[in-house]
Each structure stands twice: as C-alpha cells, then as structure tokens.
C-alpha cells in the first residue's frame, strides 16, 4: 500500500516524509511542483517510492492509477503566500485541488489529513474551530476557509482531518523566501548584520510585542502522525501551542542561540535593545488591515480528540532550531 504526500518537497511535507521514513515507511509517493528546482534538497535525505509533478499526479489520479492502493493521503500542497493577490490561482491550488483529493479519498475509503490554516480566523479575537470566529483577511485565508466549509458539508466514509496550522517554524523551510518563519529570518539577519529587525508597535501592541502562536514543525508532524495512527478520529482542529508569545521573545531566543554557537553568553531583551541588537522598523503600509497582531490556538478540540502531548515553547523550540541552522551554516 502507498502513502501519498502532496507538497512533499515543501516545508511541512518534507518533514512528514522524513517522519514516515523514521517509522520504516518508504512506499511514499511524493507530489509537488518543482518549478523552483532548488527545493529538491528537502528530499535528498528521504526515501520515496516515486515523485510525481502535481499535474502528472492529477492525470494519474483521474485514470484510476491509485485506485485500491492508497493507505492515506497527507495533503500539504498549497500556495501558502498570504500576500498572493491572484485569486484564480489561489482557488485552483488551494480549493479545487483539495476537493479533488478529498473526493478521491472518500471514494477509496482512505484517510485524508490536510493542511488548513489559522489565517481563516483573520483578526477575530477568538481562535476556536467555529464559523462565528472565522473572518479571513486575504484570499489565501479565504481559500482555506472555503475548503473547510466544504469539508463540514461533505460526508466521507473515511477519516477526514483538517489541521489549522498557526505560525510554523523549523528545518526545511529555507526555500520559502519572505514566507519563511520569523525565526529563520531573525537567525539569518543576526548572522549577517549583527542585529534583527522587528515591526514597531501596532494595534495596541508595543514594539515587537505583537503576539503569535509559534509552533515547531516537530510538533506539527507529531499531530499529523497522531491522527494517522487514530483513523476513527475526524474533524477540523487547531494545530498550535495554545500559548501566544511575542516577536521579541522569538528574537531573544534566536539571538541567544547564535551567541551560544559563538561561545558567548545569553542576554536579556533589555540588554539586546540597549546594545542595538534589536531594531524596530516602521509597520508596512501594505499590511495594514491584513495583519494578525495576535493569534493563540484554542486547543479544546485537539485535546478532546485525545492529543495530550505538550508543545515546545519558543524558548526551547526556536533555540533548538537555530542551533540546527548554525550547525548547517558552519
């Protein structure tokens, strides 16, 4: 039997392939679009059965090439650029593609675990998996919202799980450019310039005090595998730590990890500010009204589904991640 991972060359998808390999699973069909060819490095240390371009995969799916042979589909393939304005492109990649896979899995009675997004909540003050909390601010968030709505209306004979990822960081995101995590950007800024740049205060928050639910890809993978191991559990669940932390905290963790790699001692936020290691820049005009200044996953649903593991804090997770980045760049 075969596992299909879409978006397999991407950030979360590649981490899922690696995690499946760690379980001894190598019969993985990796599906993606390698137009950006340098992303191939994410799968160099992974074992897969085959690689298919997304369009090639959809053709094969349509002619029944995977009928009766799929154990599960882990659907991570999507356009995740929250600044993308081409709605037609976004809906084709994030909504229509997902519907096609859901309908296939339903017909085949194969588990379908897919990437949703906390962008669905927009600027709402609550982050519960409930329609009254869902107010996307951009077409990316809307594309994810619309598919979640379809899932709610669709009755499947097999497991269907949507995971609303919050701000994910960790290894194998280097190809994402401006959409990479702030932990990744802070690490590279500090290594190249000796300081990091954060937004000035906005929406009632002080400089660098905007708060997000930053979640390690390690934990994201664990949640995916939990549902893979529990095929009778279906639903849409938040995938975050349940604890909002500030951008300042991420910056402190990244800088101190860099300092540790150089044999230097840790510094507190105030000392970093005083020494000019943290710089605050004007809030971008094009993000006004489209920016989530605060997110924090409500984990009530996830815990009720039986997931009991604790999540890494920024202090632990970002430090661990930056140590990996430092080792790779040394």
Residue 105's SS3 state is helix
3-state DSSP helix/strand/coil percent for the chain, to nearest 5?
45, 20, 40
Distance of CA 180 to the CA centre of its chain: 10
> CA 217 to CA 316: how far, in whole Å?
13
Catalytic position from the list 97, 140, 226, 294:
140
Residue 199's SS3 state is strand
Of 257, 228, 266, whose CA–CA distance to 70 is shortest? 228
User: Which residues have C-beta within 8 Å of that of residue 124, sequence separation ≥ 6?
Assistant: 133, 134, 135
Instruction: Give the pLDDT confidence score for residue 86 in this predicted structure.
Output: 86
Instruction: Give the pLDDT confidence score for residue 308 in this predicted structure.
Output: 98
For residue range 83-123, list pLDDT tens digits in order: 787 889 889 889 999 999 999 999 999 999 999 999 999 98
Q: Is residue 290 annotated as part of the catalytic site, yes or no? A: no
Q: Is residue 140 annotated as part of the catalytic site, yes or no? A: yes
Residues of the chain with pLDDT under 50: none
> CA 45 to CA 48: how far, in whole Å?
10
Instruction: Give the pLDDT confidence score for residue 290 in this predicted structure.
Output: 67
Cα-atom radius of gyration of the chain, to the nearest Å? 20
Catalytic position from the list 176, 195, 222, 233:
176
């Amino acid at each position: 039997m075969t596992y299909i991972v879409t978006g397999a060359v991407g950030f979360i998808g590649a981490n899922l392939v690696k995690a499946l390999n760690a379980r001894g699973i190598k019969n993985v069909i990796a599906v993606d679009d390698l137009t950006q060819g340098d992303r191939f490095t994410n799968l160099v240390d992974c074992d897969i059965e085959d690689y298919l371009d997304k369009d090639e995969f959809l053709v094969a799916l349509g002619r029944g090439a995977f009928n009766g042979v799929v154990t599960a589909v882990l659907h991570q393939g999507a356009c995740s650029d929250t600044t993308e304005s081409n709605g037609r492109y976004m809906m084709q990649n994030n909504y229509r593609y997902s519907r096609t896979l859901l309908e296939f899995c339903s017909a085949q009675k194969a588990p379908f675990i897919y990437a949703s997004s906390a962008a669905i909540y927009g600027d709402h003050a609550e982050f519960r998996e409930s329609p009254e909390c869902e107010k996307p601010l951009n077409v990316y968030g809307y594309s994810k919202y619309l598919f979640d709505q379809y899932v709610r209306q669709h009755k499947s004979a097999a497991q269907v799980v949507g995971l609303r990822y919050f701000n994910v960081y960790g290894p194998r995101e280097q190809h994402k450019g401006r959409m990479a995590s702030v932990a990744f950007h802070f690490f590279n800024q500090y290594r190249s310039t000796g300081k990091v740049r954060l937004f000035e205060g906005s929406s009632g928050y002080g400089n660098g005090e905007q708060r997000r639910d930053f979640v390690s890809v390690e934990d994201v993978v664990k949640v995916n595998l939990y549902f893979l191991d529990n095929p009778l559990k279906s639903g849409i669940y938040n995938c975050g730590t349940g604890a909002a932390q500030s951008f300042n905290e991420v910056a402190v963790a990244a800088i101190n990890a860099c300092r540790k790699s150089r044999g230097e001692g840790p510094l507190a936020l105030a000392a970093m500010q005083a020494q000019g290691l943290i710089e605050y820049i004007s809030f971008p005009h094009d993000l006004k009204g489209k920016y989530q200044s605060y997110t924090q996953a409500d984990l009530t649903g996830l815990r009720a589904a039986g997931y009991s593991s604790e999540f890494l804090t920024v202090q632990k997770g970002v430090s661990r991640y930056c140590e990996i980045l430092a080792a790779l760049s040394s």
